[in-house]
Structure 1
């Protein structure tokens, strides 16, 4: 089965299944990305974060925005690189406007403000499936490169 370029970017993110907060990319180009993630009721953090009325931690919402807005867009911008990419989250200013409860699907959109010297800054927002704005702000990250490992094939 051939994966589309968008599916390959999601599949190649450097996060394990328990910490990957990207289900699908809907749009991706040189200037912006739109992606979605559904916060499943079985997520590990709901068991301990507001025990009787679980809420998605803000740091997890921010991570979701960073994975879509920085890691996915950065991967696309560096798609011709011959090196292994690593992503380092460097700076953020996010306003949280609404809570996200288990079972909520979020839509993250990020617009590139700049990308130079391997540093990416995006203006980002998160909506829920009812198009209510959950969070907005900006994020910065650095793309680190290392030579790709040769395979033994």
Structure 2
């Protein structure tokens, strides 16, 4: 199942310039997800990070990963689609390569654990098949 930008905008509250997910390529509800963010020179953050050597900020790579990761729970039979997850914890975040204008950030995530209102997702971001970032993100629902 592929979700295009209009479907993503129905699911996520984020809007420009903070919507950092362009397409969901695969979803196994409650288990795994794969999505992309097309990184262009037109991103507003490149004006200041850095003007002579544009690099996508690590915190925005994490945000992109978190937005894609949240689709594991979208329309799941365990969590109603009206519920919005919030990030409550990020563990083991590592940035292994820079992300530049023109890159396609491919994010994959797998549900590791669910306990009550909390769900932990293992996420990887790749460019050209090479891991650029990884993190374990914990989402909370109904808090």
- Shorter-chain TM range is 0.7 to 0.9
Measured after TM superposition, the shift of residue 79 of structure 1 is 7.5
User: What residue is the counterpart of 1:107 in the other structure?
Assistant: 106
Give yes or no for contact 2:73–2:79 (8 Å, CA) kept in 1.
no
Q: Write out per-residue CA displacement over residues 2-22 of structure 1, whole angstroms, 9 at most, x where no aligned residue.
A: xx7734751321101321111
User: What residue is the counterpart of 1:92 in the other structure?
Assistant: 90
More helix by share: 1
Alignment of 1:68 with 2:64, yes or no, is no
User: What residue is the counterpart of 1:41 in the other structure?
Assistant: 41
**Structure 1 segments of 4 or more deviating over 4 A?**
none
User: What residue is the counterpart of 1:149 in the other structure?
Assistant: none
Measured after TM superposition, the shift of residue 105 of structure 1 is 0.5
Which protein has the larger Cα radius of gyration, Structure 1 or Structure 2?
A: 1
Alignment of 1:120 with 2:119, yes or no, is yes
Number of aligned residues: 139
**Larger displacement relative to structure 2 (22-31 or 9-18):** 9-18
User: What residue is the counterpart of 2:139 in the other structure?
Assistant: 141
**Which sections of structure 2, spanning at least 5 residues, go unmatched?**
none
Q: Give the whole-Å Cα distance in 2 for the aligned partners of 1:66 and 1:100.
A: 16
User: What residue is the counterpart of 2:130 in the other structure?
Assistant: 132
Secondary structure of 1:122's match? strand
Measured after TM superposition, the shift of residue 84 of structure 1 is 3.2
